[in-house]
Structure 1
Amino acid sequence: MEASVTGYPAIADSDIELRLVRLEAEKIAHAVRSQMAPVAKTISDFGAKIENRIIKAFLLRSLKPALEKGADPGERDRLLSAYRTATARGKFAIFNPVMQSPPDTQLLFDPASPLVEDYADADWPDEEAEEPILFYVPGGGFILPPSPKQVGLAFRLAEHCGCEAVIGKHRLAPEYPFPLPARDLADQYEAILKSGKSPGRIILSGDSAGATLVLAMMLELRERRLPMPGAAILFSPWGDLAMRGWSYISKSMSGSSPFRMETAAFSAKLYLGDTLPTDPRASPVYADLREFPPLAIHCSRHDMHFDDAVQLAEKAHDADVPVRMNYWDSPRHHLERFGSKDALKSFDLVAEFIDAQFKRAT
């Protein structure tokens, strides 16, 4: 890929289709056919576009007071606290409309205060009998805690794949900005290793900003010279906080994505502080991915983060990291949130990917 004068890869907006064709020819990218009947898909896509516009309007209305009070940290923090409480209580169910919530006993942590010692003292099963761990980092734009339904999705995915679910804990920006959230997750991972868990039986996963943190976490693990996990699965990954890809502009202006560049930029600014958005530890599309474990990337063709998914697949391939990018012709961001046939197909592909990694390791 052509390099820019700054040393970062150039973003060739006009050739994204050509790059995608190249990935498909090398059997890295794969277009997944919808499991829905044509009429049902047409109706579903139309409904998704309406829902996306509603979510956009809702986010803008919710964030506008915070933007207007941006110069007043106290008022901004008060508003963020209210949003966080509503999210943690599941009041924004529109973002996960049909996923089942887990029992309250599975929400045993405060996202603003990770307790990694809980994992250091955990009584894990014997190595021979234990299930793999799915270490899942829910998205929240770096500033919001996971909702009960987001946690429920992680448990459903883990059960589908024959894994034990662990929710990745990290403190929230702007109180705890970059690079602290990724370090929190790396601390939690290290504590799990110290409990006796084999790194090869840990599968990392995350969605949207959670996927960003999964990649940043692995950069931190490499820096600490810790063993990498067995694999990582990224759903609709936000790879470029500078938002240089054409999909950020085109999808932000259409009904194909529930997000706009304004809301994404708001979250990115609170997370980054004074850090440049092109810092490789913050935006993994600019990072060297050598020594990373096998990656699976799932994304919608019409997602705002689609260009990031393509570039991450290219970066992984260039670094000799096994990578598989599955993408859908769908206007849904992180389509796994919905109880659809396409979501189930995505779960099936994740299970196949995990099984393949364990067969390769034996």
Structure 2
Amino acid sequence: MPYDFNQQIIEEFRAGRGRVGGPFEGARLLLLTTTGARSGARHTVPLGYLPDEGGRMLVIASAGGAPHHPAWYHNLRADPRVTVETGVFTIEAEAAVLEGEERDRLFARAVEADSGWADYQAKSGRVLPVVALTPRSGSFPDLPEGEVLKAIHDAFRRELALVRAEVAASGPRLGAQLRVNCLTLCGGLHHHHTVESGGLFPHLRDRHPELDAVLDRLHAEHTVLAGLLDDLRQLVSADSADLLTRVDRLITEIENHLAYEERHLVPLMNALPPRHEDHSTVTRVPADPGDRAAVMAAMRSPAAGAPPLDADMTPRLPHTGGVPGQWVTGSAAEDGVTLYVHGGGFEHTQPALEPLMAYRLSQATGRPVFKTDQRLAPAHPYPAALDDVVAVYRSLLEQGVPADRVILSGESSGGTLVLSALLALKAAGDPLPGAAVAISPLTDLTLSSPSLDADDGQDVLSRPVVERITAQYLAGARADQAPQSPLHGDLRGLPPLLLVAGTAEVLLDDTRRFAAAAAAAGVEVTLDLYEGMPHAFHLSVLAQEPPAVAMTFLRRLSDWCPGRSR
């Protein structure tokens, strides 16, 4: 084909993300880029291809029946490293010229599907080479996430239409290539749905809890479609007059599924930060079957008493901003300070247990810990406790502790106070700490998170409890304003955050929503979600024999902790 015609097809292919008109409309087409054997320059050509088993793509060096092999064939013989564009993905692949029985078998399969290949071979007077392209790596197009999803869907729509037309033309007896086409399509759809259910859906669920019902429906539809795909595979393996009917049903079900998915997910996915700008890391930490029971037992009867004997209780600094508290230093502590803000619903303290938690934090963060005894509601509602945390932090800096060597850490209401303190310090122009840890925090005091209403009675918290402690803490202050309600603040410029929650707790969505908002604001966020764990499960580290999941929490905290010497 003349160069100008090739270039026109290439441009149309790229602009249409794999869709072209004219003589190639409805054909399986790819763009193959090779390196010139003599020039070293990169050359791209559009080629028809045939799906093959194992993800390979087959191209045939027909040159339209010309007597000489095409230039691209000579190029890949010299350098088999090629680039393949499918319209959606750009794939780095390795080309292999097939020989002997394998070449003859696959060429015969191609001729069975389209006799034009035999015509080209007869016209050319040569044996047409068959080349297998094996993917080695791939990349997504530089598009918003939702547009990438839609492009993938459109590629499946085109392939479904092609297979449907091929099945209709074939009748009940399928040729070998058509069987491969059908099985490749089934495998591709199954892989796509597996990736969505295992990767995309949890990613979106963590960032958009309001999508839970939509994602549940899509996941359920994946199960139904998996059954239809299995049925189709079985029919393809044996000639069946029912095949076209089954293909039509599959197309209908898939189109309904894709349309629903696009309607609900594409706009939100387009609003996500590009892959290179997403500053969040979300990890779902698995739990062993007995972990939840062990955690609940440990939280019901934690070890009461002083920290281990190697803890140093000597005050590290003479002043703490007029706020009472306690210094606890583990055996491996370095410089800096971890400021620990205890939980307790803004109203309780556990003086027998909190020093032991401080000791665990000192060991994990590698710093001496100051445990604050902030004022408590209802006698001292907002902003008393927040003022205390801010006062302690400022006193550390006034006494020479570098801001970047301070970590703020808190659980439950203490986690809320940590996030509130960051916003208050930022608003006042204070230097911010090097990092912050918030475990099971309440971040939206309007109590709008869906998980508050998903309580199955298994968590240690419930909506009525959260409503009571929130009203008592705010005492008339607005629930939709920062810093008291951290989710409603300007999160830009906050330090690196480690946010932790159990997937079975009622404050799960408060943590997930704050993580998503902070990441969207450019904050470096690590979100650890512990499967099946209740609110503030990490407190089970206080047990005489802590559950394995509690020790996992401490290890992950230690690994994450910035500036920690190891």
Alignment TM-score, normalising by the size of structure 2:
0.46
Partner of 2:554: 347
Whether 2:281 is the aligned partner of 1:28: answer yes
Distance 1:283 1:118 in 2: 23
Partner of 1:175: 379
Partner of 1:5: none
Q: How does 1:68-217 map to 2 (within 5 A)?
A: 97-98=302-303, 101-102=306-307, 116-117=321-322, 130-217=334-421
Q: Say if 1:28 and 1:313, in contact at 8 Å, map to a contact too.
A: no
Distance 1:95 1:107 in 2: 27
Secondary structure of the corresponding residue to residue 148 of structure 1 = coil
Deviation at 1:102, TM superposition (A): 2.9
Alpha carbon RMSD of aligned pairs, Å?
A: 3.5
Secondary structure of the corresponding residue to residue 477 of structure 2 = coil
Whether 2:507 is the aligned partner of 1:310: answer no
Deviation at 1:116, TM superposition (A): 2.1
Distance 2:534 2:358 in 1: 18
Partner of 2:493: 291
Distance 2:292 2:417 in 1: 29
Distance 2:503 2:474 in 1: 27
User: 1:132-162 CA distances to partner (integer Å, 9 max, x unpaired)?
Assistant: 3111101011111243213311211211332
Letter in 1 for 2:210: D
Distance 2:373 2:433 in 1: 17
Change (3 A) 1:266 1:297: same
Change (3 A) 1:285 1:189: same
Change (3 A) 1:197 1:47: closer
Distance 2:563 2:312 in 1: 27
Partner of 1:72: none
Deviation at 1:131, TM superposition (A): 2.1
Distance 2:334 2:302 in 1: 32
Distance 2:302 2:519 in 1: 35
Instruction: Report the count of equivalent residues.
Output: 287
Letter in 1 for 2:282: A
5+ long unaligned stretches in structure 2: 1-207, 216-264, 328-332, 541-545
Secondary structure of the corresponding residue to residue 563 of structure 2 = helix
Secondary structure of the corresponding residue to residue 353 of structure 2 = helix
Distance 1:134 1:277 in 2: 28
Q: Say if 1:236 and 1:305, in contact at 8 Å, map to a contact too.
A: yes
Q: Say if 2:366 and 2:564, in contact at 8 Å, map to a contact too.
A: no
User: 1:274-316 CA distances to partner (integer Å, 9 max, x unpaired)?
Assistant: 1122222211111111121000011111111100111111111
Whether 2:457 is the aligned partner of 1:248: answer no
Partner of 1:270: 472
Q: How does 1:324-339 map to 2 (within 5 A)?
A: 324-338=526-540, 339=546
Distance 2:304 2:433 in 1: 27
Of 312-321 and 328-337, deviating more is 328-337
Distance 2:533 2:404 in 1: 35
Deviation at 1:337, TM superposition (A): 1.1
RCO comparison, higher one (Cα < 8 Å, 6+) = 1
Larger radius of gyration: 2
Letter in 2 for 1:351: S
Q: How does 1:232-243 map to 2 (within 5 A)?
A: 232-243=436-447
User: 1:106-146 CA distances to partner (integer Å, 9 max, x unpaired)?
Assistant: 8999xxxx962489xx9xxxxxx952311110101111124
User: 1:178-233 CA distances to partner (integer Å, 9 max, x unpaired)?
Assistant: 12211111011101111111011001100010000001111111122110000001
User: 1:19-68 CA distances to partner (integer Å, 9 max, x unpaired)?
Assistant: 99989x8562111122x3xxxx2x4435667x6xxxxxxxxxxxxxxxxx
Q: Say if 2:323 and 2:392, in contact at 8 Å, map to a contact too.
A: no
Distance 1:269 1:350 in 2: 32
Q: Say if 2:496 and 2:523, in contact at 8 Å, map to a contact too.
A: yes
Identity of aligned residues (%): 26
Q: Residue 463 of structure 2: which of 239, 248, 261 is its match?
A: 261
Change (3 A) 1:100 1:345: farther
Q: Say if 1:300 and 1:306, in contact at 8 Å, map to a contact too.
A: yes
Change (3 A) 1:95 1:139: farther
Distance 2:416 2:503 in 1: 19
Partner of 2:244: none
Distance 1:46 1:312 in 2: 28
Q: Kindly indicate which of the two structures has a greater share of residues assigned to strand.
A: 2
Letter in 1 for 2:465: T
Of 262-271 and 95-104, deviating more is 95-104
Distance 2:515 2:485 in 1: 14
Q: Say if 1:134 and 1:204, in contact at 8 Å, map to a contact too.
A: yes
Distance 1:213 1:96 in 2: 26
Partner of 2:423: 219
Change (3 A) 1:32 1:212: same
Change (3 A) 1:195 1:263: same
Secondary structure of the corresponding residue to residue 143 of structure 1 = coil
Whether 2:503 is the aligned partner of 1:301: answer yes
5+ long unaligned stretches in structure 1: 1-10, 52-92, 123-128
Letter in 2 for 1:149: L
Change (3 A) 1:260 1:99: same
Distance 2:385 2:346 in 1: 8
Letter in 2 for 1:28: T
Q: Residue 482 of structure 2: which of 263, 280, 303 is its match?
A: 280
Secondary structure of the corresponding residue to residue 131 of structure 1 = coil
Partner of 1:45: 292
Change (3 A) 1:118 1:310: closer
